[in-house]
Every structure is written in C-alpha cells, then in structure tokens.
Chain A
Amino acid sequence: MNASEIGEFLVVLLILIGSIISVISALGIIRFPDVYTRSHAATKSATLGVLLSLTGAFIYIWLTDHFISVRLILGILFVFITAPVSGHLIIRAAYRSHVEMTEDTVEDELKPVLNDKR
C-alpha cells in the first residue's frame, strides 16, 4: 500500500462518512417532533456532512491533479461560518413568531427574559 492509495482510502472514507451523515441529518429532519429539534439536526449534522464531502473532494483533487483548490478551502470556510448562523436566524424567527414547542418540552428559559423586555 503506497502513499497515494492511503490518500485515496482517506478520500473515500471522508466522502462516505459525509454522505452517511447527510442521510442521518435528513432522517433527523423527518423524525424529530418540532421545528427546534429539526433545526438541530438540519444545521449541525448537515454542515458536518457537507464539510467532510468538500474536504474529501479537496484532497482528491490535490492528490490526482496536484492542484490545491483554493475555492474548495473557501467553500469549506464559508459553509462552516454561515450554516450555523442561518440556523440561528431561522430558529429565532420561528421563536419570535411563537411556533409551538413539542409537548415533551420541560423548560423554556427564554420565555421570562423576552416577556420582561416587553
């Protein structure tokens, strides 16, 4: 097993794990009860899946074409920065428009704070 085979193995592993995590994230979006838990599945694991796939593609291009794709690095950085923020904004909009939580919710710590301000 030489170095390029180890690299290819790494690439395969990264892209496989990335796609599996994306599938798990999609399952989470279907299975979870309310919008907050769904966003938890959608932002966190989908971001990780995309990041792993992009890293795999980056290493693959680096190994086969000997070309360091700055666009892929930028894409990884960009998704890493923006995806959590988009999740935060969507969920904040949902909370402010009084979207119901699931019935299993034990505590809503944000509610008294927001009510005090109002």
Chain B
Amino acid sequence: MRKTNDLILQTVTKIVSFMIFMFALHIFFAGHNNPGGGFVGGLLTSGAIVLLLLAYDLKTVAGSLPIDYKILIAVGLLFAVGTGLGSLVFDVPFLTHAHDIFTLPILGETHLHTAVLFDIGVYLVVVGTTMTIIQTIGENE
C-alpha cells in the first residue's frame, strides 16, 4: 500500500488535541459548580487521545504517551477507595467528605474539597477504560 500524505490532518490534530485536553481539564475542575465532572472530563480526554490515534498510528501515540491504561484504571480505583477510607481515620462513616477554604500562595482563597480526589479517581477510570477498549479493538494482531 502507498503511504498517504496526512499533513493537514496531523497538523490540525497537533493544535486541536491540546485544545480538547485543556477543555477536558476545564470541564473536570468546573464539575462542582457547573455541568461537567470526572466522567465527561475523562471521556473528552480519551477523545483527544483517540484523535491522536486517528491522525498518527498506535505505536507513535504509545511512544509519546507511554501509559499502561490498565494500570490507570487500578490507580483510579485506588483514589476512589482511598478517599473513602480516609474518612475512617477521622472516625466518621465511609466516604464522608470534608471541605474548607484555604489561602494558597498564588491562587488566593480556594475552596478545596476531598470530593475532587474522588473525581480524579472517576476521571482516571474513565480514561483507562475507554482507551483500553479502543486500543484492544484497534490492534490487528
């Protein structure tokens, strides 16, 4: 088969995938007060990685993002269980969340919530699951 010239698609992918990554982060952090959250953020992130997979091939993306997505699922589940178990240390029921307003050096007054840690778990599990499914189907061996 002839090698095709994918210059336009690859150049646009370089710009657009970063835009999707940033928007996924925005959706993820806006999840508490606006529509969004870990699930949609994770899906958008895996969408950006799928766009990279479409423009380049499986090996190139695996070289630039050397992540084992099955391990990512495990890490996400550990995050979720860990935030649940953390509440047991303070002698409150499982999955009780805590929040407070902190004064951080650059960001100023910030409302920090342990539910974000749980959301990070959801995010990692969604990214891991989607990418595992797509990469397993995409490999033609």
Interface residue ranges, A against B (CB under 8 Å): 74, 77-78, 81-82, 85, 88-89, 117-118
Contacts and interface: CB of A to CB of B under 8 A. Distances in A.
Interface string B6-44: 001100100110010001000000000000000000000
A74 B26 CA distance: 12
A82 B12 contact: yes
13 contacts: A74-B19, A74-B23, A77-B19, A78-B16, A78-B19, A81-B12, A81-B15, A81-B16, A82-B12, A82-B16, A85-B8, A85-B12, A89-B8
Contacts, number: 18
Contacts of B19: 74, 77-78
B9 A85 contact: yes
Interface of B: 2, 8-9, 12, 15-16, 19, 23
Contacts of A117: 2
Given A78-B16, A89-B8, 10 more contacts: A74-B19, A74-B23, A78-B19, A81-B16, A82-B12, A82-B16, A85-B8, A85-B12, A88-B8, A117-B2
A77 B18 CA distance: 13
A74 B9 CA distance: 19
Contacts of A78: 16, 19
Contacts of A88: 8
A89 B2 contact: no
B131 to A, nearest CB: 22
A54 to B, nearest CB: 15
A118 B2 contact: yes
B40 to A, nearest CB: 13
A88 B9 CA distance: 9
Nearest to B15: A81
